[in-house]
A and B are shown apart, each in its own frame.
Chain A
Amino acid sequence: MADRTLAPHSPAEAHKGGKPPLLEVRNLQVEFPTRRGLLKAVRDVSFSLQEGEILGVVGESGAGKSLTGTAVIGLLEPPGRIGGGEILLNGRRIDNLPYAQMRRIRGKEIGMVFQDPLTSLNPLYTVGQQLIETIRTHTDLSEARARARALELLADVGIPAPERRIDQYPHQFSGGMRQRVVIALALCVNPKLVIADEPTTALDVSIQAQIIKVLKRLCHEHGAAVMLITHDMGVIAETADRVAVMYAGRLVEIGPVREVVKNPRHPYTRGLMGSIPVIGHDQERLNQIEGSMPRLTEIPSGCPFHPRCPEVFERCPRERPDLLPAGPSQAACWLYDPEEPRGAGHG
């Protein structure tokens, strides 16, 4: 897993393996023009995703994780827009494609699973009609073959009695079953990349475990890479190969999942991990990060985390750190600058 570590600011290195990464995001900016000026919700985010890999994207509300996902599938709601950077799928730029072309990629090459399964399904069509329509839009299968494929998919995602369920409407399904249908819909034409935005947040824990399992198994079988956006570290720990941590619109740490969970490098990630209660750990108080996430209008200078950081020093408010190597991970923190005397002994 460690050999998958990437160097976001030197895309050339990612090509060392010969093949370009499946998805490459370079210096992505997402901005919202408002009356009071331009709000930058995602700043300078770079990462890449290899085939078949599961990348977890975590962060708290307002960190920009969902916007990063929506930017990749080209579904930013105006006035939100991509303000800079590039998004490449299989080495081809997709962020500047005209609407009609992007539509063909969406669904066929990139599948989507959203948080609320009820809003991703059309209540007026049966589950079968929606699956068949999607399959036929992107392939040249006949109606009958598409239906057979839809049945196969429903069985695949673990829906009992698919022959009967296929002609039912979304409201006749429970929350967990609906999310299974959405996963079937996302995978129906074998996309290479699936963007799952909080796919289990609306579900109960027992159902959540089932959905994660299905998602993981199917992506493995179909060889699809997944960008899994969630605020739930537990889900990430169980599912992802690598994790990207976002704070105030920026990527602050990225690395193999075991490293980020067990040995977080950035002070924010450390604080975040420490604030999660864990069964079996008896602690009188949880570790708490003082203060709260800054508003988009008041992003602090230098490192955006510095006002809350327990290890802040003079350089932090002045200069903004880029991602620096920190063990097998990378962290945007001056503690990992080899020339920084304060950084000695860390990592």
Chain B
Amino acid sequence: MADVAPAVLGSQEEALVEVVELSKEFDVSPPLLTRLLQGQQKSFLRAVDEVSFSIPRGRTFSLVGESGCGKSTLARLVVGLYAPTRGRILIDGKELSRLRSRREQAQVRRRLQMIFQDPFASLNPRWRVRDIIAEPIRAHGLMSDRKAIDRRVGELLELVRLTAADGLKYPHEFSGGQRQRISIARALASNPEFLVCDEPTSALDVSVQAQILNLMKDLQRELGLTYLFISHDLAVVYHLSDYLGVMYLGRVVEWGAARNVFANPQHPYTRMLLDAIPDLEMSGRQRIPVRGEVPSPMDPPSGCHFNPRCPFANERCRAEIPMPIPTVHGGEVRCHAVEEGRLTEEVVRDALRRPLAEEEVP
């Protein structure tokens, strides 16, 4: 693993963001006294485990996965809300954790911003909207003239399809979708190039979600933004992404160009996830039945984390951690079965047929 070069994602595009073998461990040990008295060891939860990817400028990279897979931790690592245990994050070639002077740090920080999931919790209810949006401008010392700031806030509000007059209101006067627009305006206030969006639409209704997704796409085009988009909704991800990474218990098990991953998923977990989505097309297609649940990240299975739920697992999968191998489409996948060429069409079709007979509603 250690000598695998950072992923270039099979493209010649210039990477704005590079994440190299990033890991984050949380100390979840019992208190010292308990450890001494009961002879327990320190214990760590590895929320992010040797994750590498890169995002070309102006593109959207999405991370999908179920709860507890570490996708939000990864988002927080990338914006610097957590310090990585190991590994590096490079923004435009500058390594975040290596920046010594405050000035250098502030310069990089200005260029990356975050949008959070819950638009009710991420806006200060006691501040007027114009102060919320002006905060990054003031914090980064981008402007000092009051009038200029007001003008800029008005522009930002119009950019997210609100009106300048909305700046005088308080967050509670807005609906969920409008609040998410305010969050976006705040994130854009410091002229960032890179936005980390942690489930920005999962608290919203579908029709409002469509408005926000359209807005995000428009802004990306107008301002040349780069997105790291975290979501559990594969349809939203399909709509928005250029690149896609699938996470399972802290590891990215597969990534590549989004269209390729959707059209031709390699990892059995990706296949299962894609098959589990309720089908609006009502095609009545056959699916790999979902087995079991996500194990506790406190005590992940040995070898490939997915092995207890994988219909194709064997001894090697239980013993050995799969290393990333390149896929034919220029992405990477971590799976022994793919590496050994065990996942032939026949084998997959067999897995489709087997348990269906007993489980399907007649």
Contact = CB atoms under 8 A, between A and B. Distances in A.
Contacts of A292: 175, 177-178, 208
A301 interface: no
Interface stretch (B8-16, B111-119, B136-144, B231-239): B231-239
A234 B67 contact: no
Contacts of A207: 66, 290, 293
A97 interface: no
B170 to A, nearest CB: 17
A249 to B, nearest CB: 15
B278 A238 contact: yes
Secondary structure dominating the interface of A: helix
B357 interface: no
A292 B209 CA distance: 11
A217 to B, nearest CB: 5
Contacts of B282: 237-238, 257-258, 261-262
17 contacts: A204-B67, A205-B232, A206-B273, A206-B294, A209-B275, A213-B361, A234-B278, A237-B282, A261-B280, A272-B206, A277-B236, A277-B238, A278-B235, A280-B262, A286-B210, A287-B210, A288-B207
Contact of A220 (B67, B234, B273, B361): B361
A288 B361 contact: no
Contacts, number: 118
B214 interface: yes
A134 interface: no
A332 interface: no
Contacts of A278: 235, 238, 280-281
Nearest to B287: A209
B276 interface: yes
Contact of A204 (B66, B235, B239, B279): B66
B278 A276 contact: no
Contact of B272 (A206, A220, A283, A288): A206
A276 B205 CA distance: 10
Contact of B206 (A60, A205, A217, A235): A60
Interface string A194-233: 0000000000111111101100110010000000000111
B359 interface: yes
Interface in B79-101: none
B206 A275 contact: yes
Interface string B265-285: 000000011111111111000
Interface string A269-311: 0011011111110011111110011000000000000000000
Given A205-B232, A212-B278, A277 B207 contact: no
Contacts of A276: 206, 210, 235, 280
B152 interface: no
A279 B24 CA distance: 32
Secondary structure dominating the interface of B: helix
Interface string A254-272: 0001100110000000011
B318 interface: no
B222 to A, nearest CB: 14
A28 interface: no
Interface residues of A, number: 46
A205 B235 contact: no
A231 B234 CA distance: 16
B232 A277 contact: no
Given A275-B207, A288-B214, 14 more contacts: A60-B205, A60-B207, A60-B208, A61-B205, A205-B273, A212-B278, A220-B361, A231-B205, A257-B282, A258-B282, A272-B207, A275-B210, A276-B280, A284-B217
A237 B283 CA distance: 10
A165 to B, nearest CB: 14
Interface of A: 60-61, 174, 176-177, 204-210, 212-213, 216-217, 220, 231-235, 237-238, 257-258, 261-262, 271-272, 274-280, 283-289, 292-293
B219 interface: no
Contacts of A212: 278
B235 A279 contact: yes
A50 B360 CA distance: 23
Nearest to A176: B293
Contacts of B235: 234, 276-279
Contact of A279 (B206, B214, B238, B294): B238
Nearest to B66: A204
Contacts of B280: 233-234, 237, 261, 276, 278
Contacts of A174: 293
Nearest to A274: B210
B314 interface: no
B180 to A, nearest CB: 12
What 3 A-B pairs have minimum CB-CB distances, sorted nearest first? A234-B278, A275-B210, A277-B239
A205 B208 contact: no
Nearest to B240: A277
B211 interface: yes
B277 A234 contact: yes
Q: Which of B236, B280, B290 has the most CB of A within 10 A?
A: B280
Nearest to A220: B361
Contacts of A271: 207
A166 B205 CA distance: 37
Contacts of A176: 293
B353 to A, nearest CB: 17
B68 to A, nearest CB: 9
